[in-house]
Amino acid sequence: MAALRAANTISTKLTTKTAAFCTRSMSSWWGHVDQAPKDPILGVTEAFLADPSPSKVNVGVGAYRDDDGKPVVLNCVRQAEARIAGNLNMEYLPMGGSNHMVEETLKLAYGENSEFIKDKRIAAVQALSGTGACRLFADFQKRYQPESEIYIPVPTWSNHHNIWKDANVSQKTYHYYHPESKGLDFSAMMDDIKNAPKGSFFLLHACAHNPTGEKGHFPFFDMAYQGFASGDPERDAKAIRIFLEDGHLLGISQSFAKNMGLYGQRVGCLSVLCEDEKQASAVKSRLQQIARPMYSNPPVHGSLLVSVILSDPDLKKLWLSEVKGMAERIIGVRSALRDNLEKLGSPLSWEHITKQIGMFCYSGLTPEQVDRLTREYHIYLTRNGRISMAGVTTKNVEYLAKAIHEVSKSS
């Protein structure tokens, strides 16, 4: 009883002191926190949803839509979900995630019969989609190459800068897009690569060129759209295969958000090609060590879906067919948008719309023209003129073309 009375006395005194302290200072805990700026991509969707106009169009969203503008769940995913429902437990995965999912994912990037997979030279872990894979690698880079810099292309996905910034990795940019030709600025890119300090890290999108052999740089691929760009996962991995053939060590971020439609499942993979099996084992152990305090281990459901789809011949065949269908729809609306603009007698060249590939098109529209599209025509996209072709449909392509023509014809 004496101990209980003592505990009550101490508790009362602490409560009294805490209450007095909180009265004096609780208003100062977070008073200095200001409002974060809106995400340049997610903010577009927020504005679109708030617009009551019946003619509004969202070509800013980075997610696939069907020709009715609706989200899509692939049939292969539905079938995979039916197979795993009630048949598998939902226990914690290891820190490195599902080994089965990782093994199947590596085959997509490195090749079905890759010697690097056979020789166990790849350190790989399941990651929280492409964003998580990039962040995990950025932290790994900072920890084990602390003086290195990451070179990021202009333009790129805006979150790339946030990822390496929050990992405290020094950033620089390199030329990639040529505003006048609306294509690759190859000569300027090569100059930037040659002028970069030896041993720099270069963030690359999966495109078929091999510039990083110039000065022993480390290439890191963010491959978020494998299969989605051309309709053929093998073709979309060509750039990586070229680097491998040239003898590079490299890193790859893979995501199943776009090519399987698993946006909300947050399932992806980070892999690092190493010199030998021993080095790969050490690197993987360190990647897992970094993941442990960050998110402990990755979610299980998405990894089960990917594992089932990629390891079952019939489901994989269905997936390849469906991803090809998504890519072909995007290619089709590219042609439709270009055709409509040319029929309107636009004085500008729009051939870049069909020359570029993948979900997005760098239209060449200026921030002021984008503002007019939103203000006058209720068309929403990021101010750098990037159009998500997934938001273009047979129902809105003519309206979109007319609006683009109106804001750009005096350029």
Residue 112 has pLDDT above 50, yes or no: yes
List the structure tokens of 363.
Answer: 């239209």
Rounded Cα gap, residues 82 and 76, in angstroms = 10
Catalytic, out of 164, 222, 284, 319: 222
Rounded to whole angstroms, how far apart are CA atoms 238 and 244?
10
Catalytic member of 139, 142, 157, 319: 157
Partnered with residue 273 across adjacent β-strands are 122
Reply yes or no on whether the pLDDT at 19 is more than 60. Answer: no
Q: Tell me the average pLDDT of the chain.
A: 90
17 pLDDT band (50/70/90 cuts)? low
User: Whole-angstrom Cα distance, residue 86 to residue 69?
Assistant: 32
Instruction: Inform me whether the pLDDT recorded for 254 exceeds 90.
Output: yes
Short-list 158, 163, 278, CA closest to 150: 163
What pLDDT shows up at residue 212?
Answer: 40
Q: Are 344 and 337 in contact (CB under 8 A)?
A: no
Q: Name the pLDDT band for 183 (thresholds 50, 70, 90).
A: confident
Per DSSP bridges, beta strands 268-273 and 122-127 are antiparallel
Greatest mean pLDDT range, 150-159, 164-173, 205-214? 164-173
State both tokens at 121: 């030279």
Residue 207 pLDDT exceeds 60: no
Q: Provide the 10 A C-beta neighbour count for residue 359.
A: 22
In the predicted structure, residue 215 carries a pLDDT above the cut 80: no
> What is the per-residue pLDDT for 16?
53
Q: Is the pLDDT of residue 273 over 50?
A: yes
Q: What pLDDT shows up at residue 47?
A: 92
Taking Cα atoms as reference points, which of 74, 138, 53, 33 lies closest to residue 306? 74
pLDDT above 90: residue 184? no
Find the distance separating the first CA and the last CA of the chain, reported in whole Å. 87
pLDDT for position 209: 38
Band (pLDDT 50/70/90 cuts) for residue 28 is confident
Average confidence (pLDDT) over 30-59:
91
Instruction: Determine how β-strand 268-273 pairs with β-strand 251-255.
Output: antiparallel
What's the rounded Cα separation, in Å, for the pair 399 and 340?
Answer: 9
Q: Output the pLDDT for position 234.
A: 94
Concerning whether 258 is annotated as a catalytic residue, the answer is: yes
Q: Which two tokens stand for residue 87?
A: 């048949």
pLDDT higher than threshold 70 for residue 246:
yes
In the block, residue with structure tokens 């495109």: 207
Average pLDDT over residues 281-291: 98
pLDDT of 12 reads: 57
How would residue 123 be classed by pLDDT, with cut points 50, 70 and 90?
very high
Mean pLDDT value across residues 338-354: 94
Q: Which of 182, 258, 319, 350 is catalytic?
A: 258
Q: What residues are paired with 222 via a beta bridge?
A: 205, 253
pLDDT tier at 7, thresholds 50, 70, 90: low
Give the tens place of pLDDT for each residue, 67-84. 999 999 999 999 999 999
What pLDDT does 90 receive? 84
**Residues listed for the chain:** 411
Quick check: 320 pLDDT over 90? yes
pLDDT at 158: 83
Residue 368: strand, helix, or coil: helix
Does the pTM exceed 0.85? yes
Give the type of residue at 141.
Answer: Q
Q: Is 157 a catalytic residue?
A: yes
Integer Cα distance of 215 and 197 in angstroms: 8
pLDDT of res. 208: 36
pLDDT over 70 for what percent of the chain? 91
Determine the Cα–Cα distance for residues 30 and 37; give it in Å rounded to an integer: 17
- Give the residue from 330, 405, 341, 345 showing the smallest Cα distance to 369: 405
pLDDT in tens, 380-403: 999 999 999 999 999 999 999 999
Alpha-helix residue ranges (DSSP H) falling in 145-176:
158-166
